[in-house]
């Protein structure tokens, strides 16, 4: 059984003891909850893959205390990595660079690169400080499902695991970190997030391109499209077509549209992108719980501030190949 514990002194000590013993601990970050393990312990890292049902070539993000830890993971360390870390850490930015010697292949999924970030959530920072090392942590959900933004979501994902879950309440950003790849000739955003490509470009003093959606993981082109998905099929529909689309038994996720008719479960999210992103996964989870025929989502507006939200919704709406359930190659 998963156990949610208060993240006081005692809770943090228990978490550290478990991590030192090579076990997993779920903890809050400012983006989503992570499923953490000692980043230097290959056996513990393998437990993450087993617990999530994640393919072994799908690399993990290392969580570190700060800029000072970067050189331990990325080598050679580009100047651009230091500039971006100084500007945005601690915070929702993951930096990908060439993996330094000694970085476990379990962590990198056998790729020559590694992903590193320093989380801003005070409990994540406190845990890293007490642990005194680095924690590998993917989002604390089973592979292909929605990321958890509350401790109870993590418990729901892993009902049969003896998992310690540090409770940090609802997460503040609600969407996963921006991932920027600095291992190539030009910086590239692999996954959009709260920190925009233009924010990165401002710091670097040069343009930052955004990779097409299916290239997020180096070895898995196309496979990641149907990711971040609830159980029910999800459809994105323009606001003015909602009325004609919704059927009894559907669930609706709205922003501006009027309430639908009877027999349609419905949730409304704030109309600003920060508030919408914060509440998105919890709203999808709660709509999904009732087992609707489909979750119909009022399509979000265009514009840079909605980029990460459109990205996650498009992934959730993407067709799901049967192979996806097993996490195997298409």
Residue 115 contacts which entry, ligand TXA, Mg ion, none (Cβ below 5-8 A, type-dependent): ligand TXA
Q: Min. distance of Cβ 249 from ligand TXA in angstroms? A: 31
Q: Which of 283, 27, 288 is nearest to 151 (CA)?
A: 27
Asked whether 193 and 178 are in contact (CB, 8 A), the reply is yes
Q: Min. distance of Cβ 45 from ligand TXA in angstroms? A: 12
Q: Which residue in the set 60, 70, 197, 257 belongs to the binding site for ligand TXA (CB under 6 A)?
A: 60
Asked whether 64 and 34 are in contact (CB, 8 A), the reply is no
Residue 59 contacts which entry, ligand TXA, Mg ion, none (Cβ below 5-8 A, type-dependent): ligand TXA
164 is an interface residue for ligand TXA by CB under 6 A: no
Q: Which is nearer to Mg ion, 11 or 143 (CB)?
A: 143
Size of the site for ligand TXA (CB under 6 A): 27
288 is an interface residue for ligand TXA by CB under 6 A: no
Q: Which is nearer to ligand TXA, 193 or 300 (CB)?
A: 193
Q: Which is nearer to ligand TXA, 18 or 227 (CB)?
A: 227
Q: Which residue in the set 38, 216, 250, 298 belongs to the binding site for ligand TXA (CB under 6 A)?
A: 216
176 is an interface residue for ligand TXA by CB under 6 A: yes
Asked whether 64 and 134 are in contact (CB, 8 A), the reply is yes
Q: Which is nearer to ligand TXA, 145 or 257 (CB)?
A: 145
Residue 44 contacts which entry, Mg ion, ligand TXA, none (Cβ below 5-8 A, type-dependent): none
Sign of the Cα pseudo-torsion (263, 264, 270, 274, in order): positive
Q: Which is nearer to Mg ion, 108 or 139 (CB)?
A: 139
Q: Which is nearer to ligand TXA, 109 or 292 (CB)?
A: 109
Restricted to residues 111-130, the positions that interact with ligand TXA (CB under 6 A) are 111, 113-115, 119
Residue 2 contacts which entry, Mg ion, ligand TXA, none (Cβ below 5-8 A, type-dependent): none
Asked whether 147 and 177 are in contact (CB, 8 A), the reply is no
Q: Which is nearer to Mg ion, 53 or 169 (CB)?
A: 53
Q: Which is nearer to Mg ion, 2 or 139 (CB)?
A: 139
Restricted to residues 102-161, the positions that interact with Mg ion (CB under 5 A) are 139
Q: Which residue in the set 138, 144, 174, 277 belongs to the binding site for ligand TXA (CB under 6 A)?
A: 138
180 is an interface residue for ligand TXA by CB under 6 A: no
Following CA atoms 319, 320, 322, 328 in sequence, which dihedral angle do they give, to the nearest 10 degrees?
130
- The label of the residue with tokens 């990779």 reads 211
Q: Min. distance of Cβ 275 from ligand TXA in angstroms? A: 18
58 is an interface residue for ligand TXA by CB under 6 A: yes
| Binding-site ranges for ligand TXA (CB under 6 A) | 29, 31-32, 34, 58-61, 92, 94, 96, 108, 111, 113-115, 119, 137-139, 176-177, 179, 190, 216-218
């Amino acid at each position: 059984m998963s156990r949610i514990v208060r993240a006081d002194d005692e809770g943090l000590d228990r978490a550290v003891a478990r991590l030192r013993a090579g076990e997993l601990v779920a903890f809050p970050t400012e983006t989503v909850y992570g499923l953490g393990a000692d980043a230097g312990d290959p056996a513990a890292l393998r437990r993450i893959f087993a617990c999530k049902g994640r393919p072994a070539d799908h690399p993990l993000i290392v969580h570190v205390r700060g800029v000072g830890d970067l050189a331990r993971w990325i080598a050679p360390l580009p100047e651009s990595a230091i500039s971006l870390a100084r500007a945005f850490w601690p915070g929702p930015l993951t930096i990908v660079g060439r993996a330094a010697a000694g970085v476990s292949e379990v962590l990198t999924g056998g790729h020559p690169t590694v992903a590193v970030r320093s989380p801003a959530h005070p409990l994540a920072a406190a845990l890293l400080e007490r642990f005194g090392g680095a924690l590998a942590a993917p989002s604390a959900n089973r592979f292909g499902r929605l990321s958890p933004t509350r401790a109870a979501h993590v418990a729901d994902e892993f009902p049969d695991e003896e998992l310690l879950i540090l409770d940090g309440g609802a997460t503040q950003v609600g969407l996963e970190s921006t991932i920027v790849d600095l291992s190539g000739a030009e910086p590239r955003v692999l996954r959009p997030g709260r920190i925009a490509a233009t924010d990165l470009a401002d710091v670097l003093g040069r343009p930052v391109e955004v990779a097409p959606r299916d290239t997020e993981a180096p070895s898995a082109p196309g496979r990641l499209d149907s990711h971040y998905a609830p159980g029910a099929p999800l459809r994105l529909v323009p606001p003015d077509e909602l009325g004609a689309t919704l059927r009894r038994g559907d669930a609706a996720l709205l922003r501006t549209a009027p309430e639908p008719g009877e027999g349609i479960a419905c949730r409304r999210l704030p109309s600003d992108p920060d508030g919408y992103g914060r509440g998105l996964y919890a709203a999808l989870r709660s709509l999904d719980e009732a087992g609707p025929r489909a979750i119909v989502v009022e399509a979000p507006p265009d514009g840079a501030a909605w980029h990460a939200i459109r990205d996650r919704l498009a992934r959730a709406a993407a067709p799901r190949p049967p192979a996806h359930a097993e996490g195997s190659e298409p």
